[in-house]
Structures are given as structure tokens and as C-alpha cells.
Amino acid sequence: MRFMHKLLVHMHERGLLFKDGDFIKFIMPGKYRLYGIWHRYAVERYATSEAEFERRLEDYLVEKQRAAVNRLFHVVETGAGEVALVHVNGRIVAVLEPAERKLFRKGVSRVRVTRCDLNADMAPETLEKVTEYVGSLSVAGVSTLC
């Protein structure tokens, strides 16, 4: 049937469903048949094995779809005077600068966050971890954090 849209999300994926370019909802693995003569459906897939979720609609999803985002992701946000170390499966994978937000998938990976208040004294082991990690990065400007 030409008015039917077939969409497939594999077991190792999750999807964002769009209708006429607008986000509708998150979809889980499965086969989907959507009907509509005047509508175009599309799915943007992402692998569950990738810990960090980086998509163009990240801010919109956090603000307007907060319940769904909280169900599927760890939302890591820092305040104006703090940085955060994000550990995935025991390894530091990201350093969030002040007033920054990132999403990390729930499920496959173990996510832990260590927050550092820039206005207070840091524990020596936390400062050592931050300095060691930031020193290993080749990204310009990151070393100014600590």
C-alpha cells in the first residue's frame, strides 16, 4: 500500500520518530507501520552502545519531553560554579564545563558523575583526576578548567 510507511528499529537501537519533520516520540526496537496519505514519517536511529547522546534536538527534548528523557537518559547538568567528570564503565569520558548539559544513555553502560565545586576546595584525589584527564586531552581551552 503506498500510503503506509514501514519503519524498523533494531534490537541494539532506539529511535526518534518524526512526522513531517517534527519530533513525535521515542520508539523502542520493533517494526512499525504508520498510515497517512499526507504525512511523511521518518526515524532517526541511535545505537544503545554509544554512551553519549548527541543530537540536534537535545535541548528541545530536555525542555519539552522531560519525562521521556529521564526514563531513557542520565541528564548531567553543571551549575555556573562547577564542573563534572562523567565516568562510563569506570573510565572518564567527558568533562563538563560550568553551565553545560549532556545526555548519557541508560541501560548498557554504567554512568557515574563526580561534581567539582570550583568555589570550594577540591579533595586532592578529585583534583588529581581532573588534572590528569584534562592534561591528556588535546582539545584547546579545556586545560583552563582547573
The model's pTM: 0.74
SS3 of residue 12 by DSSP: coil
- Residue 129 lies inside a defined structural domain of this protein: yes
What is the rounded distance in angstroms from the CA atom of residue 130 to the CA atom of residue 73? 24
* Residue range 8-35: mean pLDDT, rounded: 93
Please check whether residue 111 is in contact with residue 144, taking contact to mean a CB–CB distance below 8 angstroms. no
- Residue 111 lies inside a defined structural domain of this protein: yes
- Residue 143 lies inside a defined structural domain of this protein: no
90-141 pLDDT per residue, tens: 898 999 989 999 999 888 788 999 888 887 766 667 666 666 665 554 444 4
- Residue 18 lies inside a defined structural domain of this protein: no
Domain encompassing residue 106: 73-137
Please state the domain count of the chain: 1
- Residue 47 lies inside a defined structural domain of this protein: no
What is the rounded distance in angstroms from the CA atom of residue 84 to the CA atom of residue 97? 7
- Residue 114 lies inside a defined structural domain of this protein: yes
